A and B are shown apart, each in its own frame.
Chain A
């Protein structure tokens, strides 16, 4: 069985930052593995540990810098990694869902996985759509916002028995035929830390870089239909009263409010 897990290196904005044009100025950005993808990687690795002969392939769309992030997936137990990139993609400011689904779809067609795991959303652009759009693009079944997956039925019956986490503490129990794409919600498992041994081994594992042409696609795939026309810090609607001073002074003012509101007695 082959499990493909999509991972994304996301940009994280520092506390004090500046916007240059329609982007956050580079100097205020850090990079990390997308939180939701970390759980997807763990779920894939757990499947591999539970079954005989399960191969886990991590795939990302990203520049060379993102190899650092994809190596985290390798260090945690993915067998191989594929990185999709070329100049046409690099030129796009905001990759739309369709483009990501078509690029990843071409990888799915080359790799022919039985199961694709991806994060529910990426915490930078938070489209929350790539997994389901990918499933539709390649004709797989799917389920979104999965917070439990029955490993046994996946490995033995070719069915993904999942729980989908709905709003307000309600979960939906659903069976999905394979091949399928599942979008993974945080909390489904406990992502492991990469061991030192894993990190060392990851250095020697293969990262296979594929261009748009390698994927058999035309460069026009990278033409995004979305255009970022403005980026700004949201105008604060806050009319909060701020407590200034040293921590003890701040705490004293807050204590007064709590007493005044009647939730704490002196």
Chain B
């Protein structure tokens, strides 16, 4: 049996999730008595293959084709390689690029697809995938019993594989059908940077989420920011609504921050938000919902209504809370 994992890279670098996939893949391979193979598609495949040759990896397949990610190329190459190896398990990252090709590969291979795994178990021919529902409020296990499977794995759930392995490195000629490539990547652009503030520099971030309800109510948190000399950041919906500029957004698609104190107010703690702030030294959360996932990573918590707590906090620091 073979577990095949497909690495993720961008602009010349393998992304962290690639090494986490190796760990997840090795666990599955051990449970299934299988070999662990890694694939890297496009980019500097020689250098990438070297890097992926970590402990526990049995083989690395390098598909040399173009510089950057193109979903048509990935879909074709991953499908061909999985077929060629008769890989029981195809394990891919639940990254933005994973979202862009993995479902197509599962469809082509006519295999069940389970996304965003936070845990994997394999026994007696059944794969059990642990995943979250309803914005992380519940966890489920989902069984898939007619393998082979395609499963995408959430980032930062498995530790990265370390050490150097003795994998066989092979070139795989995926024979990409250029006529079937219907999308052209024209380039990349950095967004949300620049501007007058860099929330990545702040020691103390006061971060606001959808719990604030109305744009006018932002005045209340701005008063807290003034009174404490903090910097203001937010979760995505606040930026989506146009209430704050993009350079204030913390998270997977926003900014990574790591302040001394991160005060999350009315933020549920969705995985894409947490990805941007979990390395903060001290995390404090104010939320009406005692089950909000943000409390799982918080050092201090207040279960309460921000409209009651924040005005009191403003007063503690000599500010004058507005009426909202």
Residues in chain B near residue A17, CB distance under 8 A: 137
Residues in chain B near residue A208, CB distance under 8 A: none
Inter-chain contact total with CB atoms closer than 8 Å: 271
* Contact yes or no, A247 B186, CB < 8 A: no
If A128-B99, A170-B190, A171-B188 touch, does A263 touch B298 (CB 8 Å cutoff)?
Answer: no
* Contact yes or no, A125 B99, CB < 8 A: no
CA distance A179 to B101 in the complex (A): 17
CA distance A132 to B106 in the complex (A): 10
* Contact yes or no, A247 B304, CB < 8 A: yes
CA distance A162 to B100 in the complex (A): 13
Which residues, 270 to 324 on B, are CB-close (under 8 Å) to A?
281-282, 284-285, 288-291, 293, 295-305, 308-310, 312-313, 315-317
Number of interface residues of B (CB under 8 A): 99
B residues in contact (CB < 8 Å) with A = 10, 15, 69, 71, 75, 94-97, 99-104, 106-108, 112-116, 128, 132-146, 182-193, 203-204, 228-230, 236-237, 239-242, 246, 252-256, 259-261, 281-282, 284-285, 288-291, 293, 295-305, 308-310, 312-313, 315-317
* Contact yes or no, B237 A186, CB < 8 A: yes
CA distance A226 to B282 in the complex (A): 39
Partner of B115, one of A128, A232, A263: A128
Which residues, 184 to 202 on A, are CB-close (under 8 Å) to B?
186-187, 190
In the assembled complex, the CB of A89 is this many whole angstroms from the nearest CB of chain B, namely 17
* Residue of A136, A168, A239 contacting most chain B CB atoms (<10 Å): A168
Number of interface residues of A (CB under 8 A): 85
Is A164 an interface residue when CB atoms closer than 8 A count as contact? Answer: yes
* Contact yes or no, B252 A167, CB < 8 A: yes
A residues in contact (CB < 8 Å) with B = 11-13, 15-17, 19, 22, 24, 94, 96-98, 101, 120, 123-133, 135-137, 141-145, 163-177, 180, 183, 186-187, 190, 225-234, 236-243, 247-248, 250-252, 254-255, 257-258, 261-264
* Contact yes or no, A226 B114, CB < 8 A: yes
